[in-house]
């Protein structure tokens, strides 16, 4: 296909961000990812500057509250497990928008960058769909429980800087999933929730690649800016993420996701100093 006849990946990403219903968000994401794989969407050389970041399209529910207002989610009852699964589904729904915003907001990146984040958006949509189906099998749906907006708040804080975005969204907030999901799986195994365990095992395996994409493009930005990754990561953590960085850390998964031993040691030392 002639390049002039191809559609704009930037416009497609914007449409995915704007989609407000669950159905529209998933449908537009899967369609855009498939079109990108077929070579039908490209980043135009003359793409205008991105709009200022704002809230993406999302359904009226769930109600967004401060994290302190969310009840603890015990797994001893089916209602407790449904609330727990809903919280994970909400993270995955936000992650769809985070991936598309990485595509839409940051211009002039290599083609491989856009391929990584389109792939992540598609994965996150599939993860959400699996969790949504699990909720429905339990008699619930997305929006039945309150949620918080912490993931998107970090996207807003880093909208001005691709380096900060790559450091702090995939390598801090999304990497937290690598730390906590094995424990979630064990807790669900204890209550014989085999179906949810199967879903979380898929998510854990695939999230390693998403965090690895963040590591790869964080280091690309550092090289382009002529700065060293470790002190830059330390500075950004202190500036933006002191309140959201928690241990313990899954060293094995984080190593596979592109964290070096020096970074893992710095994270551990930072926790020890904070304690």
The one-digit pLDDT tens for each residue of the chain (275 residues) are 334 436 899 999 999 999 999 999 999 999 999 999 999 999 988 888 899 999 999 999 999 888 877 877 777 788 889 999 999 999 999 999 999 999 999 999 999 999 999 999 999 999 999 999 999 999 999 999 999 888 899 999 999 999 999 999 999 999 999 999 999 999 999 999 999 999 999 999 999 999 999 999 999 999 999 999 999 999 999 998 877 788 899 999 999 999 999 999 999 987 655 54
Tell me, yes or no, if the pTM score tops 0.75. yes
The Cα 150–Cα 107 span in angstroms is 25
């Amino acid at each position: 296909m002639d390049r002039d006849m191809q559609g704009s990946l930037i416009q497609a990403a914007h449409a995915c961000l704007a989609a407000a219903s669950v159905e529209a968000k998933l449908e537009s994401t899967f369609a855009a990812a498939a079109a990108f794989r077929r070579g039908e969407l490209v980043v135009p050389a003359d793409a205008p500057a991105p709009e200022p970041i704002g809230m993406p399209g999302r359904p009226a529910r769930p109600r967004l509250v401060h994290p302190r207002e969310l009840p603890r989610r015990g797994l001893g009852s089916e209602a407790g497990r449904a609330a727990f699964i809903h919280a994970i589904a909400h993270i995955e729904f936000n992650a769809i928008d985070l991936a598309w915003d990485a595509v839409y907001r940051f211009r002039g990146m290599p083609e491989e960058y856009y391929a990584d984040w389109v792939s992540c958006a598609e994965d996150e949509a599939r993860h959400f769909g699996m969790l949504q189906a699990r909720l429905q099998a339990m008699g619930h749906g997305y929006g039945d429980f309150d949620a918080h907006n912490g993931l998107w708040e970090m996207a807003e804080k880093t909208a001005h800087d691709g380096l900060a975005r790559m450091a702090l969204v995939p390598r801090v907030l999304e990497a937290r999933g690598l730390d906590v999901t094995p424990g979630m799986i064990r807790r669900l195994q204890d209550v014989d929730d085999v179906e949810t365990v199967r879903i979380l095992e898929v998510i854990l395996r695939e999230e390693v690649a998403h965090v690895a994409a963040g590591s790869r493009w964080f280091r690309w930005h550092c090289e382009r800016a002529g700065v060293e990754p470790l002190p830059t990561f330390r500075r950004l953590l202190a500036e933006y993420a002191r309140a959201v960085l928690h241990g313990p850390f899954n060293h094995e998964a984080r190593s596979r996701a592109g964290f070096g031993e020096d970074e893992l040691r710095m994270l551990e030392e930072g926790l020890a100093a904070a304690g």
